[in-house]
Amino acid sequence: MACSVAVPCWAAHAYAQFGDVKYPPGFAHFDYVNPNAPKGGEIRMVPPTRPSNFDKFNPFTLKGNAPYDIGALLFDTLLVGNSDEPTTAYGLLAQDVEVAPDRLSATFKLNPRARFHDGKPVLAADVVHSFKTLISKEAAPQYRTIYVEVKDAVEVDERTVRFDFSSPNPELPLVVGGMPVFSRDWGKGKPFDQVVSEMPIGSGPYRIPNTRMGRDITYVRDPNYWAADLPTRKGQFNFDRVTFKIYLDETSRFEGLKAGEFDFMREFISRNWARQYKGKQFDSGELAKRAFENKNPGDFQGYVFNLRKPKFQDIRVRKAIALALDFEWMNKQLFYGIYKRVNGYFPNSEFHAEGLPKPDELALLEPLRDKLRPEVFGPAPVAASTDPPGSLRANLRQAQALFKEAGWEYRDGALRNAKGEAFTMEFLNDQPSLVRIVGPFQKALEKLGVQLIYRVVDFSLSKQKMDAFDFEVTTLRLPGTTAPGGELLELFGSKAANTPGSSNIWGIADPAVDALLQKVVTARTRPDLSAAMRALDRVLSHGYYSVPQYYGDAFLVGYRPRPFVLPPTIPPYYQVDGWAISTWWASARNK
């Protein structure tokens, strides 16, 4: 079938959800890499998240903590995306991909050169085993959500595997193409959730040199990596060693950068960026600070309500709490003016809903009118501003009125309901430094009679409580994406709302949201996807499930420039940590 705007394209070497294959058959390498980059040296980093000590090597189970980035570095996939195109993937483990004309199956022909780290070939039986293991109850529950529309994986022959789909969803070949593949021999004879200390048997570019559990982790490049010369890997993963170092707080982490304990750190705190990244080491060039620009959609960041708690089930309460956040003051006084306000869940992208619904959005919303509040058909919500003529005082007056409508009034020193119960909120977090950011919000809520209790716990306990949905309010950052799809079911779908360990930490269970999620995952053209996403953004925003915070439109990075050489071309769509690991290389002095 010929490629067109309306028909997804499939070809021997690639699959594109919307027919936009940039690189032709036989291409040599991606444009943004140096195919002649030398191998060697080491890059030492700190993770962009805050993991704790790791106590397992299995990243696919619920309990415990696996080393940072183990999935990306140890496990290859059938197809692999790139930083030029948002919805296209090219062959890695698979050398051929064919999608059936009815789109109800995708067949992958494995590359006969593909090898696991133990030297055994990657076979169709391993792919089927990986799929069936990930959707089992022994794996983390999010995989059952991700692959919910995949009916089965079938071994056609030794090196051919077919995935059958329950619907003609054009994203599904990308979903299964991105599935991590591991050997049937890994943990053989044990239930998968008891495979903890056994070294993974993957086929990726790196290995783990020893089985010692702990805090820091070093990955060692496999000199016999089977895919090193493939077009989709040429010029990539050039470092002999990739080390992630874990620090318990921001102060010790920055001191570690200055002391030369590691080489690369993404900064998330504007005050640190403005005040700490200066001095002799930066003046001499020993250290550098750089804002790496990109065309990525903005990250969503916000305070998140747990809707499973009765106090947050009234939308008026959620709207009132959001009115207490004074972003404009915080951006000026705390953030040095470098952030922008988040509106909606997909800021700075084609998926962000603005103003009144456009005709393509209305076509999706009208059939759901009986499930939606009338406000959804009006302007998209915009976070309350305190810039003149607005003010925090005026916003708090509105909040007070909303609380009163919801049955909460100020008396006896607190906001109370008819039973006399005071309105309190516990904010759960694992970052002590956020107290500076939460403080102004906390004080504004106090003026309404709401007590916000700031509770800091370590990462392990935080993860345990979040997996069990044992919290009231927390903060969340969702990286923006150019290719939204099935992962949104895990974030906002009703099924995930009651699945322990899922990413739907809000507990959103809304039939209208579910219906729009299906429109997203079954979109056949980019305009259809954009319309469905804007309609989804509009409905989620009108639910006031979060207090929108802020985002930055560049990656703030401190690094040691002398040990590294950067590729001349920076791609449009990338995450800065993964881009550095995969495309930078060591200068001669770092070897």
432-468 pLDDT, tens digit per residue, is 878 889 999 999 999 999 999 999 998 889 989 999 9
DSSP class of residue 484 equals: -
Which helix (H) or strand (E) covers residue 316, if one does? Answer: helix 315-322
Instruction: Check if the beta carbon of residue 225 is closer than 8 Å to that of residue 205.
Output: yes
Helix or strand or coil: residue 198?
coil
Reading the block at residue 43, the tokens are 């890059």
- 511 pLDDT exceeds 90? yes
The burial of 213, by beta-carbon neighbours within 10 Å (0-12 exposed, 13-18 middle, 19 or more buried), is given as: middle
CA distance 550 to 531: 24
Reading the block at residue 433, the tokens are 């430094």
Mean pLDDT of 566-577: 93
The domains of the chain, with CATH numbers, are: 47-239 (3.40.190.10), 247-297+553-591 (no CATH), 300-550 (3.10.105.10)
- 40 pLDDT exceeds 60? yes
- Whole-number Cα distances in Å, 108 to 11, 201, 232, 267: 11, 21, 16, 40
Instruction: Check if the beta carbon of residue 405 is closer than 8 Å to that of residue 432.
Output: no
pLDDT for the residue numbered 591: 55
Instruction: Check if the beta carbon of residue 523 is closer than 8 Å to that of residue 170.
Output: yes
pLDDT for the residue numbered 543: 98
- 10 pLDDT exceeds 50? no
The alpha-helical segments, DSSP class H, found in 448-507 are: 459-467, 487-492, 494-497
From 207, 145, 159, select the one nearest 500 (Cα to Cα). Answer: 145
CA distance 312 to 531: 29
pLDDT in tens, 286-305: 999 999 988 889 889 999 99
* Count of beta carbons in the 10 Å neighbourhood of residue 351: 24
Beta-bridge partner residues of 451: 424
CA distance 96 to 124: 13
**Residue written as token pair 């594109």:** 16
- 3 pLDDT exceeds 60? no
pLDDT in tens, 469-486: 999 999 999 988 888 988
Helix or strand or coil: residue 107?
strand
Instruction: Check if the beta carbon of residue 39 is closer than 8 Å to that of residue 221.
Output: yes
* Count of beta carbons in the 10 Å neighbourhood of residue 455: 15
Which helix (H) or strand (E) covers residue 383, if one does? Answer: none
From 4, 154, 176, select the one nearest 89 (Cα to Cα). Answer: 176
Rounded to 5 degrees, φ, ψ at 82 are -145, 175
Q: Residues of the chain with pLDDT > 70: what percent?
A: 97
pLDDT for the residue numbered 248: 79
**What does pLDDT average to over the chain?**
93
Instruction: Check if the beta carbon of residue 129 is closer than 8 Å to that of residue 188.
Output: no
Number of H helices, E strands in the chain: 18, 26
CA distance 81 to 84: 9
pLDDT in tens, 144-156: 989 999 999 999 9
